[in-house]
Structure formats: structure tokens, C-alpha cells
Amino acid sequence: MHVVTTKTVPRARAAGIFLSYKAREHILAYLLLAPSLLYLTLLIAVPFFYAIYLSLSDATVSSPGHFVGVATFQQVMADSTFWLSLRNTLIFTFGSLLGQSLIGTPLGFLLAQDVPGRKIIRAIVVLPWTIPVALSTIAFKWIFDTEFSVLNWALRTWHITSNPPIWLADPVWAMVAAIVNNVWIGFPFAAVVLLAGLTSIPVEILEAARVDGAGFLRRFHSIIVPMIAPILFVGALFTIVFNMTNLSVIFILTNGGPENYTQILPTWAFNVGILGGSLSSGAAIALFLLPPLFVIVVLMLRTLGAREW
């Protein structure tokens, strides 16, 4: 016969209260996650799978289309514009990344210095990144304009050259102008990422290295980079994704011209799928961004994991 003591009841009641508390905690966790999951589902997962559906059909703006398998992908790859756009996408992405890194890295070190008005300087530096991309690109379109280019006026006035290039009408210079525009928009992000990493390094470590005779390059290579590598990798990953999927700069500045020499996959997908009305081809072109991005993300995460190990 089981005898319930006076000590057993309070213990069972305490266990029940604890379990109910844990259950409420789990419910609260799911409720807090619900908005993020709903956002990811409605704005990312649903459009992504719908794009896959469209790419496997011959849908247009006037017809829901029928299932055609990979025929749309084969049709897109048979177009010479696809390979030109793919090449331009890689040039635009990594050319912008190089420029943003070259400007953002020294700027990050400068912002980390204790100088008067440091907060104001930081706020001014971040402005190009906070201004809407459309406004920045329209300003650069005026800077590189064929007839009213302020840059060409400066080049002539300062006697640097009497025959400046017609920026947006030349295949090479148009891509250079687009990269310069994108670098201007993105270099504050590179500087802020580096600044965040630098502020996480204990000052004592850098001071000890300086006392031991380590110069700036030695401290940067042996101390700073290894300690903030995760932050740098994540920042570089975000920058690559932003650059590769950037539609606004090319669309507003050149719209892929001249003769598709600045056409990139996002603008070509928009022109074909939305303006041209071929939803299936536009979706297929957009999905071609997925393989290179997937490879880049996997390689960078594996490299970061190997460094942490």
C-alpha cells in the first residue's frame, strides 16, 4: 500500500509548476519566432518556389502556361546575352567588392581612432549607405552624363584631358561608372563591419604587440585578421550577396547598355520577365543567380569553419 506523505504533495506540486513553466516558456519561444517564420515563408519561400514553378513552364503575363521542364533554361542558355550578363554580373560583383574593401578597410581603421568629433565623422561616413540607392544612382547618372557631366567639366577645367570619355556610351567606361557608383553606396558598410571587429579586440593585446616591436602590418596580419575573421567573412558574404543581386544601380544608370555590355542577370531578368512579359524566362534567368551564390556561401562558410577549428 502506497502512503502519500506530507512531503510528497509539495514536491509533486512543485514539479507540476516547473513543467507548466517550461511549457509556457516553449510556447513563448514559438510565439516570438512566429513573425520571423511568417516573414521568411511569405516573402522568401513562397516567391522562391513560385519562381521555380514559373521557370519550368512557358508562362507569360497573358497566359498561365504549361509545364515544359527544363526547356526554358535551355532557351535562356542558348541566348548569347545570358553569357554576357553572367560575365558582367561577376565583374560587377567582385569589382565592387574590391573597391569597397580598398576604401572601407583604411576608413575603418581611421574611424577607430580617438579623434575629436569622431561620432559626427562616423555619421557622415555612413550617409552614402543610408541614402536610398535610387537617389545616389540618379546623382551619379548626372555625374557621368554624356552632355552635362560634371566630371568631364572638371577634367577639362583642370586640364587633365581635353577629350574625356563618354562614360555611359562606352562599354568599358559604362561598367567602370556602374562599379564606382556601387562602391560609393557600399564602402561605408565595409568600414562599419571592420570598425565593429576592431572594437571587439582587447586593447591590451594590441598594446602588448606594439611593445614587443610588432609594426602595423604585423599586427594586422597576425592579430587583427585572425581575431575578427568571423566578422570579416560574414561582412564579405553579405556584400557579395548585395552586389550580385543589386538591380537598382545598373537599371537606373545604364539599363544594361550600351548594347548589353553592362547587362547583369538581375536587370536582364527584370527586362525579360516584367517588361518583356515572359515570366518563365525571367524566372529562369533569376534562378541562375542561385548556383554561384550557393557555391560562394558554402566555400566561405567552410573556410570560416576551418579557421575556427
* CB neighbourhood size of 26 (10 A): 10
pLDDT at residue 231 in the model: 86
The C-alpha atoms of residue 178 and residue 258 are separated, in whole angstroms, by 12
For residues 269 and 286, is the Cβ–Cβ distance under 8 A? Answer: yes
pLDDT digits (tens, 9 = 90+) for 268-300: 999 999 999 999 999 999 999 998 888 888 888
Q: Is 120 exposed, middle or buried (0-12, 13-18, 19+ CB in 10 A)?
A: exposed
More confident residue, 218 or 25: 218
DSSP state letter for 278? -
This prediction has a pTM of 0.85
For residues 130-154, average pLDDT: 90
The C-alpha atoms of residue 157 and residue 123 are separated, in whole angstroms, by 32
Please list the helix, strand and coil fractions of the chain in percent, rounded to the nearest 5, in that order.
75, 0, 25
Q: How confident is the model at residue 146 (pLDDT cuts 50, 70, 90)?
A: confident
More confident residue, 63 or 183: 183
Q: Which amino acid is at 295?
A: V
For residues 234-244, average pLDDT: 90
Q: How confident is the model at residue 8 (pLDDT cuts 50, 70, 90)?
A: low
Q: Which amino acid is at 142?
A: W
pLDDT digits (tens, 9 = 90+) for 80-99: 999 999 999 999 999 999 99
Q: Is 276 exposed, middle or buried (0-12, 13-18, 19+ CB in 10 A)?
A: middle
pLDDT digits (tens, 9 = 90+) for 209-223: 888 888 878 888 888
79-308 is classed CATH 3.10.20.30: no
The C-alpha atoms of residue 130 and residue 151 are separated, in whole angstroms, by 24
For residues 192 and 124, is the Cβ–Cβ distance under 8 A? Answer: no
* CB neighbourhood size of 134 (10 A): 12
More confident residue, 199 or 173: 173
SS3 state of residue 118: helix
More confident residue, 112 or 7: 112
Q: Of 102, 5, 81, 21, give the one whose Cα is nearest residue 264.
A: 81
Q: How confident is the model at residue 121 (pLDDT cuts 50, 70, 90)?
A: confident
pLDDT at residue 13 in the model: 57
Three-state DSSP string of 228-246 = HHHHHHHHHHHHHHHHHCC
Q: Which amino acid is at 123?
A: A
pLDDT reading at 2 higher than 70: no
- What percentage of the chain has pLDDT greater than the value 70? 92
